[in-house]
């Protein structure tokens, strides 16, 4: 299969040295009770995680099982939707390592023409008796100073995002293409590209359309984040009704190129199409509060070109415990 210059560039971006990428997606298949994720399918999902990890830096604090504050034991319970049933799950006795987001994955027939669905990563309950701001900062913001740790109290002041993780459910009602080498673009015209949908849903867990630091910058039907405005030529980009996605059909250049592509975080995708993150998608992550590394300079791109995501996955720290819409 021929690797186009455009895809070589995307592979080069993903081949940025692993030491620079601080984020770790810990993919947990505990709730994949139907066995949807075979080893080969897991490899594609892990490639999607590696693609995002490669450019995202941040210092997410570890969340211990509990903490003693003023003599009282503080606990926390992550809440998310079971990806195989849709029912709510509340866990106890959970710890999250530093730099890590835990993502529970599975599959079911979601219905409604929806390809996949993410449980937003801010779902947390029973944080002890709420005493102790340091504990709240750890649980609700992973130690990020810009996170509003009292999100139900107006005004929304969040300029950063520190999620524990979340869940993603992929629909069993569609024909998926699981690319064994995602550095190539050869998606069959009768299938939806699993890699593209996976990076889209991970974008929601990272806060696009969901984080308080995102909603704070929504003005009517536009997004006013400064990085996104700059990436959109100085104009606030339009949003889909509800504010959770870029407006349908929004385009932006692929990083380091003048090649336009429909954004990865607009609301839908066509069969036979591969979507990478565009400049606008990466800019959104910066506006939420993530530290995003720059793409290599042109000379460096030539050095990295052709390495490919397949090889890059070997260098990542992998931990595994018609149109259709991405989400309802």
pLDDT digits (tens, 9 = 90+) for 14-60: 443 443 448 999 999 999 999 999 999 999 999 999 999 999 989 99
Give me the pLDDT at residue 304, please.
29
pLDDT in tens, 156-196: 999 999 999 999 999 999 999 999 999 889 999 999 999 99
| Mean per-residue pLDDT, 206-224 | 96
pLDDT, mean over the chain: 84
Asked if pLDDT for residue 289 goes beyond 90, the answer is: yes
Contact 25, 203 (CB under 8 A): no
Answer yes or no: are the C-beta atoms of 147 and 160 closer than 8 Å.
yes
Distance CA 219, CA 54 (A): 31
At 296, the pLDDT band (50, 70, 90 cuts) reads low
């Amino acid at each position: 299969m021929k690797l186009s210059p455009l895809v070589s560039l995307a592979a080069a971006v993903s081949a940025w040295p692993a030491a620079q990428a601080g984020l770790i997606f810990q993919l947990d298949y505990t709730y994949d009770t139907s066995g949807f994720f075979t080893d080969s399918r897991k490899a594609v999902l892990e490639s999607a995680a590696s693609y995002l990890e490669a450019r995202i830096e941040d210092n997410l604090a570890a969340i211990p099982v509990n903490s003693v504050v003023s003599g009282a034991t503080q606990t926390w319970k992550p809440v998310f939707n079971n990806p195989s049933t849709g029912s709510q799950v509340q866990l106890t006795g959970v710890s999250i390592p530093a730099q890590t987001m835990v993502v529970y994955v599975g599959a079911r027939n979601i219905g409604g023409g929806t390809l996949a669905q993410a449980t937003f990563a801010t779902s947390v309950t029973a944080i002890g008796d709420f005493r102790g701001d340091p504990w709240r900062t750890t649980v609700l913001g992973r130690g990020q100073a810009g996170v509003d740790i009292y999100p139900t109290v107006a005004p929304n002041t969040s300029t950063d995002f520190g999620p524990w993780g979340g869940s993603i459910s992929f629909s069993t009602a569609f024909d998926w293409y699981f690319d064994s080498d995602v550095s190539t673009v050869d998606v069959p015209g009768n299938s939806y590209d699993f890699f593209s949908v996976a990076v889209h849903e991970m974008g929601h867990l990272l806060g696009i359309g969901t984080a308080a630091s995102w909603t704070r910058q929504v003005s009517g039907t536009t997004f006013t984040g400064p990085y996104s405005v700059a990436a959109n030529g100085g104009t606030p980009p339009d949003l889909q009704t509800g504010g959770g996605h870029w407006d349908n059909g929004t385009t932006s250049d692929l990083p380091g190129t003048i090649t336009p592509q429909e954004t990865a975080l607009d609301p839908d995708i066509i069969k036979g199409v591969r979507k990478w993150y565009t400049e606008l998608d990466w800019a959104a992550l910066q506006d939420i509060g993530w530290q995003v590394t720059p793409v290599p300079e042109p000379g460096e791109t030539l050095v990295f070109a052709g390495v490919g995501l397949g090889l890059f996955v070997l260098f990542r720290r992998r931990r595994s415990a018609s149109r259709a819409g991405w989400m309802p």
